[in-house]
Structure 1
Amino acid sequence: MKKKKFPLLVIISVFSFFSCKHEDKPTPTPSTTTDIYIAGNKNYSSGNPIPVYWKNGEAHNLSLGSYSSGIAKSISVSGNDVYVCGSVTEGIYKAAAYWKNDTLHTLTDEVHDAIATGITVENNDVYILGQEYNASTIRVPKYWKNGLETVLTNGTNDALGEKMIVKNGEVYIAGYEYVGTTMIPKYWKNGVGIELPSVDSKTRASALTFVGNDLYIAGSNFQNGDMGVIYWKNGNLQVLSQGLSYVHVNSVAVSGNDVYIGYTDELQAGKYWKNNTLIPLMDGSSVASLTDLYSYESDIYMLGNVGENTILWKNNSKIATDTNASFEDIQIVQH
């Protein structure tokens, strides 16, 4: 039987066609943008503060509905939705409130003063930290999950939950509770209080963060007439400084192996500790208060005020400012 012969050109062409068909094409890299969201307040000519959030420097006023004023304290972004919490006022008492985008939702009535101070969204669940005075004018810390309230104390002692984080559906809140004249530092896990080791009778836990499975809580103490900056790592107490007449610790962040703790001192001067090194927010030519400190990738972002200007710093360099306003909380999101 006679074999058919195919021209070499045809064979090469067919081989080339199938080779091209099976060649892997490079997958295009999806484009992403990094957006900076800040919650805060603007003071307009009316004299009443207006809750605001900024996205990449552009201010968005939040609706007050029938209320005359309000304040924003915290922000969380989930997908295309922006959540802000704070309070609204019409009359004597404040109501704890939050906004989803520009829609206002109140969490309490106006029988007693209340405020929402922290908000986090995880897996479409909305967690909000707040406090409300009871009929005996005692502060009662609480949090809401999707509107369902969990009270942290029985309302007998003055107490405060200062900062909240949510990790895999579990709620952690740093704060303190008075027992008589003694301030007990503690954190609550899913509503159950856990006492922290104290330096003295007035030790306060006021900020917290997780790094992996390690829980960092920052705070302050009062000892022999002086205040200091402290933190706990998994419950183990470390004292960073002592000898201040006043200190308010408001933030803790961890970047790599570095621990950052932000605070404002008796001169309303913002400073932060990087491990065991104290760093002022400004060079001394002016005084800046510090309201928040936030780590993103390898950078540290800080919010604060200098006179009537509110400022965002990135690694101690000023990158944004606004006038007659206050920055309260920051979140950086990659879309």
Structure 2
Amino acid sequence: MKNFITKILGISLLSILYLNAVSCTDVEVLNIEDDPTPPPTVYIVGTSGGLDGVTAVVTYWKDSIAFPINNGNKGAFANSIFVEGNDVYVAGLEHDGQTTIAKYWKNGIGVSLTTKENSANATSIFVSGNDIYVAGWKQEHHNAPPVATYWKNGVEFPLPSNKFSSYAESIFISGNDIYVAGYENDPNGNEIAKYWKNGIGINLSDGSIHTIAKSIFVSGNDIYIAGNENNGYTSVVKYWKNGVVVSITDGTLNAFANSIFVSGNDVYIAGGEGIPNTGPSIAKYWKNGEPTALTNGQRDAAAVSIFVLENDVYVAGDIYNSSGHPVGTYWKNGVPTSLTDGNNIGSAMGIFVK
């Protein structure tokens, strides 16, 4: 009887251990399956290819893997990238003889927004639902001044401005509202920073000093625009919040802004800064006015585009190597990753993280 009870106890104990093992395994499997979120995917667009500029290839990189878009038979350059779902949208231009054609590419398939009769450029792209918005500029004919323009699903909308040159640099869609930032020239040749909301132009400067708007971001009811003011000797980084200007640099150094991003209450601006006419520019970004240097000043560099996701700051730009060639680069929290080898043209012009 004792041996029988001992055997029963032994079997029961093994059963309990087995069930515990199975249960632990199940819990581990559930933990693996339920565990979180994969790391974000980093998309960067730019140009790579021949030094002659004629065989330049529009390229985007997905987690540093290159995806060429055009075949290089015509020189092409990329300016902006937007990712919606599984679709990758890129805006830029393609050379056609003596003119440039504004284009965008969806998953590598090109869509021309203008013809070879009109020199044009697509500078920024934004996708909202099923609608594709592209900002840029277009000349009506070879001798005509450029006109700030946006396209919605390929339909052209010239933006009202004076009879002198105007340029659209950035587009942002918020709800049913279309925001475009850029600038126009006055009769004296001074640039006036401005933005358009649903086609209505709003000046940010008065033309007394050269000022341009480069990038726009809308957060809730607030409109943020980054740009530059040139006093003839140095350029000053500024941004406007709902039309109220904030100076980020003081004009001691030559500074420039290329991109703005707003995350919560934090305002990020990407660009660069350097000693006027004497040394290389340092790629930088500013968070609420506080600068972070991305390069050490040994080589000319610039930060061109910025994107913030959670607590991580992603910046795309270029660093010139010892041969004088730009190397497409991106930084995550200040740590650089080279996208091109520096043997040819290599630029990183836009970044999108999801």
Report if TM-score (shorter chain) is over 0.5. yes
Counterpart CA distance in 1 for 2:234 and 2:106 is 42
Name the aligned partner's letter for residue 59 of structure 1: A
Report the alpha carbon displacement of residue 44 of structure 1 after superposing the two structures with TM. 4.0
Corresponding residue of 2:79: 73
Which of 182, 187, 197 is residue 180 of structure 1 equivalent to? 187
Name the aligned partner's letter for residue 163 of structure 1: S
Name the aligned partner's letter for residue 116 of structure 2: E
Counterpart CA distance in 1 for 2:191 and 2:305 is 24
Equivalent pair of 1:177/1:186 in contact (CA under 8 Å): yes
Report the alpha carbon displacement of residue 147 of structure 1 after superposing the two structures with TM. 1.0
Corresponding residue of 1:160: 167
- Go from structure 1 to structure 2 and tell me whether the alpha carbon gap of 1:64 and 1:191 turns closer, same or farther (over 3 Å shift): farther
Corresponding residue of 1:94: 100
Equivalent pair of 1:201/1:222 in contact (CA under 8 Å): yes
Which of 103, 110, 117 is residue 111 of structure 1 equivalent to? 117
Corresponding residue of 1:204: 212
- Go from structure 1 to structure 2 and tell me whether the alpha carbon gap of 1:228 and 1:167 turns closer, same or farther (over 3 Å shift): same
- Go from structure 1 to structure 2 and tell me whether the alpha carbon gap of 1:199 and 1:270 turns closer, same or farther (over 3 Å shift): farther
- Go from structure 1 to structure 2 and tell me whether the alpha carbon gap of 1:52 and 1:226 turns closer, same or farther (over 3 Å shift): closer
Corresponding residue of 2:26: none
Moved more, 136-145 or 253-262: 253-262
Structure 2 residue 351 is the aligned partner of structure 1 residue 330: yes
Structure 2 residue 256 is the aligned partner of structure 1 residue 256: no
Counterpart CA distance in 1 for 2:138 and 2:194 is 19
Counterpart CA distance in 2 for 1:211 and 1:319 is 29
Equivalent pair of 2:42/2:62 in contact (CA under 8 Å): yes
Q: How does 1:1-335 map to 2 (within 5 A)?
A: 29=34, 32-33=37-38, 34-44=40-50, 48-64=55-71, 68-135=74-141, 136-153=143-160, 156-181=163-188, 182-198=190-206, 200-223=208-231, 225-244=233-252, 246-265=254-273, 266=276, 267-307=280-320, 308=325, 309-323=327-341, 324=344, 325-333=346-354
- Go from structure 1 to structure 2 and tell me whether the alpha carbon gap of 1:79 and 1:238 turns closer, same or farther (over 3 Å shift): same
Equivalent pair of 1:252/1:259 in contact (CA under 8 Å): yes
Q: Percent identity?
A: 34
Counterpart CA distance in 1 for 2:255 and 2:290 is 17
Per the normalisation by structure 2, the TM-score is 0.79
Counterpart CA distance in 1 for 2:295 and 2:161 is 43
Counterpart CA distance in 1 for 2:35 and 2:248 is 44
Report the alpha carbon displacement of residue 291 of structure 1 after superposing the two structures with TM. 1.4
Alignment gaps of 5+ in structure 2: 1-29
Moved more, 288-297 or 44-53: 44-53
Counterpart CA distance in 2 for 1:326 and 1:271 is 16
Equivalent pair of 2:249/2:255 in contact (CA under 8 Å): no
Equivalent pair of 2:236/2:251 in contact (CA under 8 Å): yes
Give 3-state SS (helix, strand or coil) of 2:164's partner: coil
Equivalent pair of 1:37/1:53 in contact (CA under 8 Å): yes
Counterpart CA distance in 2 for 1:54 and 1:133 is 31
Counterpart CA distance in 2 for 1:229 and 1:271 is 12
CA shift digits 1:87-107 (9 cap, x unpaired): 112311111111111211111
Counterpart CA distance in 1 for 2:268 and 2:352 is 17
Moved more, 71-80 or 215-224: 215-224
Equivalent pair of 1:39/1:72 in contact (CA under 8 Å): yes
Equivalent pair of 1:127/1:145 in contact (CA under 8 Å): yes
Per the normalisation by structure 1, the TM-score is 0.83
CA shift digits 1:188-210 (9 cap, x unpaired): 01111111255942222211212
Which protein has the bigger strand share?
1
- Go from structure 1 to structure 2 and tell me whether the alpha carbon gap of 1:29 and 1:199 turns closer, same or farther (over 3 Å shift): farther
Report the alpha carbon displacement of residue 155 of structure 1 after superposing the two structures with TM. 6.5
CA shift digits 1:134-186 (9 cap, x unpaired): 33331111011111111013561111111111111321111111221232211
Equivalent pair of 1:74/1:85 in contact (CA under 8 Å): yes
Moved more, 140-149 or 256-265: 256-265
Report the alpha carbon displacement of residue 300 of structure 1 after superposing the two structures with TM. 1.1
Counterpart CA distance in 2 for 1:260 and 1:199 is 26
Count matched residues: 307
Alignment gaps of 5+ in structure 1: 1-25
Which protein has the bigger helix share?
2
Counterpart CA distance in 2 for 1:40 and 1:255 is 24
Name the aligned partner's letter for residue 245 of structure 2: L
- Go from structure 1 to structure 2 and tell me whether the alpha carbon gap of 1:237 and 1:89 turns closer, same or farther (over 3 Å shift): same
- Go from structure 1 to structure 2 and tell me whether the alpha carbon gap of 1:207 and 1:244 turns closer, same or farther (over 3 Å shift): farther
Equivalent pair of 1:139/1:159 in contact (CA under 8 Å): yes
Give 3-state SS (helix, strand or coil) of 2:41's partner: strand
Give 3-state SS (helix, strand or coil) of 2:340's partner: strand
Counterpart CA distance in 1 for 2:227 and 2:294 is 19
